[in-house]
Amino acid sequence: MSIPIRSLERVREALASMPETESRDRPFVAGEVLLREGERADRIGLVIQGEIELYKRDAEGREHPVGSVRPGQFLGLLLLSSGEPSFLTARAKTDGRLLEMPRKTFLRLLYNLPGFYQMVGPLLLGNLVSRYRRVVQLHLQVAELSRALAAEKAQLQAALEQLEATRNRLIQQEKMATLGQLVAGIAHEINNPVASLARAADAIGPALLGLLERPVEARELEVLREGLQQGLRHQPLQTEVQRERMDQLAVRFPDLPRPVLRTLAQVEPAVLEAFAYYVVANPTVERKELARRWVEMFEIGTLVRSMRVAAERIGGIVRSLKGYSRQDQAELAEVDLRDGLRDTLVLFGYLLKRFQVVVDLPVPLVVRGRPGELNQVWTNLILNACEAMGERGTLTLSGGAEPGAVWVRVQDTGPGVPPALLERIFESGFSTKKPDDPAKGGLGLGLAIARSIVEQHGGRLTVENVPGGGAAFTVRLPAAAAAPTHPPG
Amino acid sequence: MSPIYILCVEDEPEVLAAVVRDLAPFEVRFPIESAATAAEARRVVHEVILPRGKLGVVVCDHLLPGEDGVSFLVALQRDPRTAPARKILLTAQAGLAATVQALNQAQLKHYLAKPWDPEELRAVVRRQLTDFVLEQETDLYPYLTVLEADRLTEKIRQQPLPADR
């Protein structure tokens, strides 16, 4: 609401001409404080020229602009009737001037001086109306802001939930990728013993049938039993030793076919000598035939032995798998970390074949933890080491106990980690793998997952470069008695 | 006539024994040598096989300790003395990438998944040995009983009679 300058000037002149109003001109300069919040003010001012900004302090003491007072408007209006300390701070925005009079005089004249109300009444009313309008507008603005704020909050919440879902999905994918490698590993590990088991089983039937084609005389039985036992006891020779012995036997028995020489090469030399003596000393048809059957019996023994070895291998893999896959076990249990490490090494043996593996775990490493989750840590660290080393290298697993803590170190002979990235490699999604190489499986979450599992167990996972090349990841966990009991997840 | 060798490379002793046993029927004509690692296989090729004869077929495990089977087969393919040998990869994990690499670089003739069928293994080795002798040998009669006789006879029929040479 604006008052024409001319009429305002008339009001000023009229008021100034009445001595009983005790009014006086009060010039002000930009930046000058005319009222201070919380201080008492006993004067009321009518702005004639210039503009004054009003400020209110919030609970933390910050000043906020809440409006302005322009020519024709009153300063100190709120104090008019109450005389309470000032509600606002008034600071001049521009140079200007007020017509000032004491508050009590103003109130008294309002009722007693004829013509005074006619002059200031419309101004007062206009002032109050415009301030009330302003309050209503502010209410509307506050309502609008609250609505926008609520909408923004809901959006943020949705974004956060989406982010969390994505993160969980990525972790799940990472776990599936590891699981894929695990399954490939088991298939590989089981395939070898299954192959030798199947092939030995195939061979043993015909061998027995061939042996029993002719009747066995009672006095031969002892000899054949001896052949079988030799075969059962037999340990496979290194290929080089076998080749050497085969070459020697080929010179000695030029008439024997190579498969027979190969079997003979595996017979203990002392036993073989006794046999050679038995046959050579009196080379009858019967003795030669008995020797032939002894060799067959020996061969059957080696087949049975290799079947047993294969079955043990498969049993061992299944045991490792049982130990490894306690993923769902959410309860804390006292575990020797060496068990999980061994299971993991067995199941990922196919990946480790091209590397030297050194295991130095001399003492029990007992912690309270969730074995399945800890196996995930070993898996991720070992897979990470394999990837760092590429085609060849040495993987060293070491561990030890300290007062109150145990540690496990997984060390590789890869290129190490650039110093600038030493901490970053634990971040989600950080990977040195090429993005176009999804065959490698991982999404770069392996180390992040490992670290979070270790921290949930109250431990620490750190990395350092080893002098001479390679990286060493160290897991440090509280020893069994000192372990915390955080809930899972 | 210098012998044509079959070389088996496999690090698991029981599996190696099974491969050698399955291939024993060929040994009347083709001596079998075996090795547990790529390094040993390389020594066998250069110190045992090549001084005495030729390398005809290699049956090689994929994952070996240290250098893997594919890399060994690729190296054999690069050496002119062993390039003609037929290469068979025996693998417990049929990794596509490794197989493609072997196919391309080692001129891999066949790959077999473990556990293998012995008849199939023998059929594959018989075909590869037949290919090898057809390509490398002139006197084919000694192989008639062991290898694919019909393909050998076909070739023999096309050969000029000794008198015509």
DSSP notation for B3-22: PEEEEEE-SSHHHHHHHHHH
| pLDDT over 80 (residue B71) | yes
Chain A residues with beta carbon closer than 8 angstroms to that of B100: none
* Degrees, nearest 5: CA angle A199-A205-A206: 95
Identify the structural domains of chain B with CATH numbers, from first to last: 4-158 (3.40.50.2300)
Strands A471-478, A405-411: pairing kind = antiparallel
Mean pLDDT of A41-68: 89
Pick from B15, B34, B49, B99 the residue to mutate for testing the A interface (most A CBs within 10 Å): B15
C-alpha distances in angstroms, A391 versus A67, A345, B99? Answer: 75, 18, 16
Q: Do B44 and A243 touch (CB under 8 A)?
A: yes
Chain A residues touching B40 at Cβ < 8 A: 239-240
Q: Do B18 and A200 touch (CB under 8 A)?
A: yes
Element (H, E) at A27: strand A24-28
* Residue B27 to residue A258, Cβ atoms within 8 A: yes
Residue A332 sits at φ, ψ, to 5 deg, of -75, 140
Residue A139, H or E segment: helix A116-211
* DSSP secondary structure string for all residues of A55-81: EEE-TTS-EEEEEEE-TT-EESGGGTT
Q: What CA–CA distance (Å, rounded) separates A10 from A440? A: 90
Q: What is the DSSP string of A290-316?
A: HHHHHHHHHHHHHHHHHHHHHHHHHHH
Flag whether residue B72 sits within 8 Å of chain A, measured between CB atoms: no
Tell me whether residues A243 and B115 touch, CB distance under 8 A.
Answer: no
A243 touches chain B (CB under 8 A): yes
CB distance from A314 to chain B under 8 Å? no
Best residue of A182, A183, A194, A196 to probe chain B, by most B CBs closer than 10 Å: A196
> Within 13 Å of residue B77, how many CA atoms lie on the same side as its CB?
18
A:284-313 residues touching chain B, CB 8 A cutoff: 302, 306, 309-310
A380 pLDDT higher than 70: yes
Nearest CB among B15, B32, B93 relative to A196 is that of B15
Distances (CA, A) of A210 to A196, A215, A266, B6: 21, 11, 21, 27
Mean pLDDT rounded to a whole number for chain B: 87
Q: Work out the average pLDDT over A19-33.
A: 89
Query: Which of B9, B11, B14 is the mutation pick for testing A, counting most A CBs within 10 A?
Result: B14
Q: What pLDDT, in 10s, does the model give residues B115-154?
A: 889 999 999 999 999 999 999 988 888 888 889 888 888 8
Best mutation target, A189, A191, A199, to test chain B (most B CBs within 10 A): A199
The stretch A361-386 carries a mean pLDDT of 90
What are the residues whose beta carbons fall under 8 Å from the beta carbon of A35, sequence distance 6 or more?
A41, A75, A76, A86, A88, A89, A90
* CB-nearest partner of A239 from B40, B63, B118: B40
Cβ neighbours of residue A475 under 8 Å, at least 6 residues apart? A377, A381, A407, A408, A409, A410, A454, A459, A460, A461
Give the range among A401-405, A485-489, B30-34 with minimum mean pLDDT: A485-489
pLDDT of residue A183: 83
Beta bridge partners of B90: B61, B112
Contacts of B12 in chain A (CB under 8 A): 192, 196
Mean pLDDT of chain A: 85
> CB–CB of B14 and A196 under 8 A?
yes
DSSP reduced 3-state for A487? coil
CB B67 within 8 A of CB B38: yes
Q: Is A191 on the interface with B (CB under 8 A)?
A: yes
Q: Cβ distance A234 to A301 under 8 Å?
A: yes
Q: Give the residue from A82, A12, A93 showing the smallest Cα distance to A52.
A: A93
pLDDT at A307: 93
Q: How far is B162 from chain A (nearest CA, A)?
A: 31
User: For chain B, how many residues are written?
Assistant: 165
Examine the pLDDT at A166 and tell me if it is beyond 80.
yes
Task: Confirm whether the ipTM is greater than 0.95.
Answer: no
**Using CA atoms, how far apart are residues A293 and A284, in angstroms rounded to an integer?**
14
Among chain A residues, the shortest Cα distance to B13 is held by A236
pLDDT band at A489 (very low <50, low <70, confident <90, very high): very low
Q: Does B33 touch chain A (CB under 8 A)?
A: yes
* Chain B residue closest in CA terms to A350: B63
pLDDT above 80: residue A327: no
- CA A396 to CA A468: how far, in whole Å? 14
CB proximity B65 to A under 8 Å: yes
The amino acid at residue A288 is K
Q: How far is CA A213 from CA A209, A225, A285, in A?
A: 6, 17, 17
